[in-house]
Chain A
Amino acid sequence: MLQAINLSKKFKTKEVVREINMELSAGESVGLLGPNGAGKSTTISMLSSLVQPTSGDVLWNEKSIAKKPDPLRKAMGVVPQEIALYPELSARENLAFFGRIYGLKGELLETRITEVLKKIGLSERQKDIVKTFSGGMKRRLNIGAALLHRPSILIMDEPTVGIDPQSRAYILETVKQFVEEGMTLLYTSHYMEEVEMLCDKIYIMDQGKIIAHGTKEELKALVSENQTIQLKANILTVNFEKSLGEQFPKATIHIEEEILTISMSKSEEPLATIFALAAANSVVITSAIVKVPSLEDVFLHLTGKALRD
């Protein structure tokens, strides 16, 4: 259905996307996971025909979109990371405008608007000016504007950025419904739990490259031989971290928000050694959790850094 073949993008001298290969089949929900600045938005812009790739190609139903992007554009709904709405217009006026530029008019347009407003839970606020909306409501309307022409493929670029947990849950539930209804989805996020919840297939991206891809299970299998130990302590000193590194040279060690995460082979039994090293470095461990692998661990394993770094 939608394919990226050796897709690269260079802005002046900086190469932000490097030889990406991706594939979305009809009805599939695909996640593009990566930290901020990984090149996800540029990849999406190229896939949606807004940005010309420096090299490579995008195929829609096996035809290049380079010269004829219209068939893809008509079939696709794009939800950008930004709130791409007119703040001075009401929710209904915004939807009416976006519907009209897609060629909808008259009764059909009115029906679609009502349908979309219901879907995104804004029927009661449809006449209100968008600038009076909360962040979550704006995000919902941002999604609604991409649904009016009933796209067969929906591309969402970090649709839950900067909103409260309640609105986020509402949006995720809504997107989940789209997936269950059979809509093809390309969902980018740096929240691995969102991608894990919504997507069957995941591409992990870092520094402009796809570093791994597969189903959730396939990706987790990459680290199934590993174990992750999370430690909380009264103080995490550099010496303690250094001692751990020397003791477990094959382990990945990472400190974030006063939590020390160690990824290492399951074959080792490190807890006794860790506690001994802590005592030697005057570090008092207050909690220790041994975790099953998650996508976060996969990312950590592949890049040596946390997803939200």
Chain B
Amino acid sequence: MLFSLIAKQMKMLIRNKQPLIILLVMPIVLITILSNALGSIMDGGEEAAIQANLLIVDNSSWAQEEKAIKLFLEQEGVTGPSMDALLTQFKSSDPIELLNSTILASDEMKKYIEVDYKKKVDVKIARQDENIDGILNIPADFRVSYIKSAYFNDTNFPELSLYLNQDNEIRASIIESVLTDWKRGYTQSAALLAADLSPQEIMNNVVSVEKVEQVLEANERKIPASIYYTVGMLVMFALYIPSFLAGFALQEVQWKVYDRILLAGVSPVLYTLSIFFTGTLVAFIQQVIMLSFGMFVLGIEWISIQGMFLIIVSYSVFIGALSALMTTLQFRTKTEGIANLFNGLFITVFSFLGGSFFNIRDISETLGKIGDFTPNGATMSAILSIQKGQDLSVIWPFMLAIYVLVIICVFLSIVFFPRRGVAE
């Protein structure tokens, strides 16, 4: 029965042009306009992408170094089967192979670092390319030097050159973090090999990805206008859902359809619950559409999907609770006054305080703090915090504010529900 009520409310919403225009078309148009119009001001020329471009100039190769390695091993008295065994062991723990095939090749790492491989490139010229965030230059005798130091206590460690483009600190830090880890791993390889461990066993890609994520936490991602206004409009336009649903409910009372529903044995509590679930569902769908629009049309890369899911579900629950409260109040007053007041005044004030139009903290920190107590403001702050790359724990105070508001809405719905019936 609950499903029938929800399905009917969804049909009513879908078949009315006005809700569709206000809930979907208007925010999409505004996101597009505001992102473009205010993009240059807000973004300050900084790009939001967190994928770093790494150029690996590999002057070495196993084929060209094999002869030199064998010669060195013979000089050290390693011949025959001992030499073959050492070469096999080395091949399996070749640091360059490990870097290319394991660390940088993982799907997780590919999200953060895009690698371009070249041979014999003029590094000076390559460094002038603004699109390259880091250049790793591997010398021609890297493997020979590595074997000497790792297996024969040669103190001359193989020298690598890493050039970082400091124009984008986050991306440079990502590259530096991964390569420093890798470098630390293979410089310790002698000790590891002595303990019968291969560098792969501790230098796996998961560790490297975690390092990247730590870098992202330490260096907040810049929020471009496209992200800011997608979130701003998303939280603002979800607030229109309760007045539409409460309006439909009032129409049902006026058309006497509500009487028919009651006569069929549907309790007022179940009816209000159906409004709550419809509001939650519609808000969730609306937010998913907005976020997908941001992703597929504006090219936004949403990070921390689990955190985002938690936030939009929580906000959707609030919208559901507000829909139930507004329906209750309209049933009690039997007019659309409450919805009109909410649409005309509250949404504007909440959106202003919550920062949907611009970052309210730019003009007043106090107003910004007040805005964090509005449901839309709390949701917006939570989403933007995790989009900056902050830890998921930063959202809990905002979630607390949202759920306190949910409880208030549910409590008021129970208190104000007209127990003597709506018909009287």
Which residues of chain A have a CB within 8 Å of any CB of chain B?
11, 45, 48-52, 70, 73-74, 76, 78, 80-86, 88-89, 93, 97-98, 100-103, 145-146, 149
Contact = CB atoms under 8 A, between A and B. Distances in A.
Given A73-B264, A86-B8, 15 more contacts: A49-B263, A50-B423, A74-B265, A78-B260, A80-B259, A88-B11, A88-B12, A89-B8, A97-B8, A98-B264, A101-B4, A101-B264, A103-B1, A103-B265, A145-B260
A218 B361 CA distance: 82
B261 interface: yes
A82 B256 CA distance: 7
A114 B9 CA distance: 24
12 contacts: A45-B423, A49-B263, A50-B262, A50-B423, A52-B420, A84-B260, A86-B8, A89-B12, A89-B15, A93-B11, A100-B1, A103-B1
B265 A86 contact: no
Interface residues of B, number: 24
Contacts of A145: 260
Nearest to B254: A82
Interface string B1-38: 10011001001100110000000000000000000000
Contacts of B256: 80-82, 84
B250 to A, nearest CB: 14
A93 B8 CA distance: 9
B258 to A, nearest CB: 9
Contact of A82 (B12, B255, B264): B255
Contacts, number: 73
Contact of B263 (A48, A89, A93): A48
A80 B258 CA distance: 11
Contacts of A83: 255
A251 B258 CA distance: 48
B397 interface: no
Contacts of A81: 256
B365 to A, nearest CB: 47
A261 to B, nearest CB: 36
Contacts of B303: none
B268 to A, nearest CB: 12
A101 B1 contact: yes
Nearest to B258: A84
A211 B298 CA distance: 74
A17 to B, nearest CB: 13
B201 interface: no
Contact of A51 (B257, B265, B421): B421
A70 B421 contact: no
B266 interface: yes
